[in-house]
Structure 1
Amino acid sequence: MPTVLVVDDALFMRTTVGNMFEEWGFDVVGLASNGKEAVELYSKFQPDLVTMDVTMPIMSGLDAVKEIIPRYPDAKIIMITALGQQRIIVEAIENGAKDFITKPFDANQLKMVVDKLLNSY
C-alpha cells in the first residue's frame, strides 16, 4: 500500500486531500500543518508521496522542499499552489519538487498527477 504525507496549514484541505488518498488505497502516514512538521514527518516515515502546500506559517512548503530533497533526493513531492504563484513553483521544481497542482482542484486532477508520478519512477 503506497504511503502519503499531506501538508497544508488549512485543516479542511488536509482532511479533504487525506480522504481522497484513503479512497485511492493509500496509507496516510501523516498530516502536517507547516513545513517544519513536514520535514520531521518525512524523516520519520519517508512516504512514497507528499502533497505540499506552498504558503504556510513557521516554514513554507518551498523551504521544506529545500530541506527534504538534499537528504532524500528521490522524494516525490507535489506542490499545491494558489493561482499566481508560478515563480514559487518554478523554484520548487528547481529544488527537487516533482510536480504541482493549482487550487482549486478536483480529485481527478490530483489523481492524474499522482498516477503519473508513481508510475514514472
Structure 2
Amino acid sequence: MNFQTLKSKYTITVTATWLSFCLASPVMAEQTLQSPATEGQEFQQQIYTGTLDRVDAEQRQLVIDDELVEVSTVIKFNGANWSWERLASELDSGKRIKFELAPGSINSTPRIIAIDSEVD
C-alpha cells in the first residue's frame, strides 16, 4: 500500500465519520412555522416563538428563523393595537419574540396578527 492510497482511505473515513455525526445526531429545535406551540389543537391557536432575523418596513415583512412572514397593517403588540409603521421601528434583529399567525395563513404566506416581545 502506498502513501497516497493510505491518505485517501483516511480522508474518506474521517469524512464519513463526520457526516454520520452530523446527520445522525439529534437536533433540538425551537418551534417553527410548521409546528404549533399548542399541540392537540390543530391550527386553532397558531402561536410560535422565534428569533427575528430581519425587518422589512416597506414590504410589511419579517424574517423569523429564516422564514419569511407578512405582517398585518394593524397588529397587536404586547396586548395593544399598533400600526405597522409604528411597530417596525420597535423591532430589532436578534430579538426573541412570540407571535400569532392569522387563521388559515399557514397554507399560504404566513401572516402575523400579534407579537409579544416578552418571551419566557
Which TM class, normalised by the smaller chain length? Answer: under 0.3
Q: Which has the higher helix share?
A: 1
- TM-score (norm: length of structure 1): 0.23
Structure with the largest fraction of strand: 2
